[in-house]
Amino acid sequence: MHKNPANRQGFFVLKSLFLALKIYIMYETILTLHSYLAYIVLTILILAVVNAISGLIGNKLFTLTKDFRLSLFALILTHIQLTIGLILYFVSPKGFNAIQELGMGGLTPLARLVAVEHPFINIIAVVLITIGWSKHKKVMEAKRKFKLISIFYGLGLLFLFSRMPWAQWLN
Ligand code: HEM
C-alpha cells in the first residue's frame, strides 16, 4: 500500500500528527482534572486538619463516622491527585518535557516551580499524609490519633501550599 516513498512519508506525517493531537487532548483533559480536583483536595485536607486540631484541643472522642472518614477521604483524594499529577508530569510540556528540552539550568524560576519543585515537594507531602494515616491507625488513644493527624496532615498541607503554582492556577 505504501510502496511509493512519498506515500509512506505522508502516512507517517499523518500518523505523527494524529498522535500529537491525541496527546494534546489527553493533556488538556488531565490538566483540567488536576486543576479542579486541587480545590477539593485542599478543602478536604484543611477540614481534616482543622477537625483534628479541634479534637485534640477539645479532648474529644475519635469517632468512626466523622473523624476516621474525614481523614480517610483526605488520604484517598490526595492519592488520586498524586496519580493524576504523575501522569500529567509526562504529558505536559511544562513537566518532564521542559527539563528535557531546556535542561535544569535553562528553566526560569516559574518553570522550575512547575517542573521540579511542585512535583517533588508534593510527593513528599503525600508521603507525610500517608505516614500520618498509618501511624494514627496504630494507636488507640483519641488524643494521640488527633495529634498524629494534626501534625502529619498539617505538615503535608503546608508543603502543598508552599509549592503550588498559584499564579498559573488562579489565572
Ligand atoms: C497532591 C497534590 C497536588 C495538588 C493539590 C496539585 C495541584 C496543582 C495545581 C492547582 C496545578 C495548576 C493547574 C492549572 O494551571 O490549572 C498543578 C499543575 C501541575 N501539577 Fe500538580 N498538584 C499536586 C501534585 C502533583 C504531583 C505529585 C505532580 C507530579 C509528579 C504534579 C504535576 C503537575 C504539573 C506537571 C503541573 C503543570 C501542568 C501544566 O500546566 O501543564 N502535581 N498542580
pLDDT digits 0-9 by tens, 5-37: 878 888 889 899 988 888 888 899 999 999 999
Q: Is the pTM of this model over 0.85?
A: yes
Is the pLDDT at 121 greater than 80? The verdict is: yes
From 94, 118, 120, 126, give the residue whose CB has the most ligand 1 atoms within 8 Å, as the site to mutate. Answer: 118
- Protein residue with its CA nearest to atom 31 in ligand 1: 85
CA distances in angstroms from 23 to 88, 92, 97, listed in the order given:
11, 9, 13
Query: Measured from the CB, is residue 94 less than 6 Å from ligand 1?
Result: yes
Query: Measured from the CB, is residue 95 less than 6 Å from ligand 1?
Result: yes
Query: How many domains is the chain partitioned into structurally?
Result: 1
CB count within 10 Å of CB 42 equals 17
Residue 22: predicted pLDDT: 83
Residues spanned by the domain of 157: 44-169
Q: Does residue 103 belong to any structural domain of this protein? A: yes
Q: Does residue 11 belong to any structural domain of this protein? A: no
Q: Does residue 151 belong to any structural domain of this protein? A: yes
Q: Does residue 159 belong to any structural domain of this protein? A: yes
Is the pLDDT at 1 greater than 60? The verdict is: no
Q: Does residue 15 belong to any structural domain of this protein? A: no
CA distances in angstroms from 103 to 27, 88, 149, 152, listed in the order given:
22, 19, 38, 34
pLDDT digits 0-9 by tens, 129-141: 999 999 999 999 9
Q: Does residue 14 belong to any structural domain of this protein? A: no
Q: Does residue 99 belong to any structural domain of this protein? A: yes
Residue 3: predicted pLDDT: 67
DSSP the chain: ---SHHHHHHHHHHHHHHHHHHHHHHHHHHHHHHHHHHHHHHHHHHHHHHHHHHHHHTT----IIIIIHHHHHHHHHHHHHHHHHHHHHHHSTTTHHHHHHHTGGG--HHHHIIIIIHHHHHHHHHHHHHHHHHHHHH---HHHHHHHHHHHHHHHHHHHHHT--HHHH--
